[in-house]
Amino acid sequence: MRIFRHYTELPEEARGAVVALGNFDGVHLGHREVIGAAGREARALNAPHGVLTFEPHPRSFFQPATPPFRLTPFRIKARHLEALAVDFLYVLHFDREFSQITAQDFVAKVLVEGLGVRHVVTGYDFVFGQGRGGNAETLAAAAVEHGFGYTRVAPVEALPGVPYSSTRVRDHLLAGEPDKAAFLLGRDWEIEGRVEPGEQIGRDLGFPTANVRLGEYLHPAFGIYAVKAGLDAGEDTVWLDGVANLGQRPTFDGKDILLEVHLFDFKGDLYGRHLRTRLIRWIRPEKRFDGLAALRAQIADDCSVARDLLTQEPASP
CB 101 within 8 A of CB 52: no
More confident residue, 140 or 207: 140
Indicate whether 252 pLDDT > 70.
Answer: no
Indicate whether 68 pLDDT > 70.
Answer: yes
Tens of pLDDT, residue by residue over 89-132, are: 999 999 999 999 999 999 999 999 999 999 999 999 999 999 99
Indicate whether 32 pLDDT > 60.
Answer: yes
- Nearest Cα neighbor of 170 from 180, 157, 159 is 180
Q: How far is CA 191 from CA 20, 57, 74, 77, 224, in A?
A: 25, 18, 13, 12, 15
d(Cα 111, Cα 119) in Å, to the nearest integer? 10
The secondary element (H helix, E strand) that includes residue 293 is helix 292-310
Task: Give me the CATH topology for the region 2-159.
Answer: Rossmann fold (3.40.50)
Residue 299: how many other CB atoms lie within 10 Å: 20
Tens of pLDDT, residue by residue over 275-298, are: 999 999 999 999 888 878 888 889
Structural domain spans, the chain:
2-159, 166-310
Most confident of 168-182, 199-213, 223-237: 168-182
Percent pLDDT > 70 in the chain is 94
Tens of pLDDT, residue by residue over 2-21, are: 999 999 999 999 999 999 99
3-state SS assignment for residue 120: strand
Asked which of 89-93, 126-130, 233-237, 260-264 is least confident by mean pLDDT, the reply is: 233-237
Read off the pLDDT band of 250 (50, 70, 90): low
CB 88 within 8 A of CB 50: yes
d(Cα 279, Cα 245) in Å, to the nearest integer? 11
Task: Give me the CATH topology for the region 166-310.
Answer: Elongation Factor Tu (Ef-tu); domain 3 (2.40.30)
What rounded mean pLDDT belongs to the chain? 92
Number of residues that make up the chain: 317
Indicate whether 254 pLDDT > 70.
Answer: no
Its pTM stands at 0.91
d(Cα 258, Cα 222) in Å, to the nearest integer? 10
Indicate whether 200 pLDDT > 80.
Answer: no
Q: How far is CA 302 from CA 178, 224, 237, 307, 308, in A?
A: 17, 8, 25, 9, 10
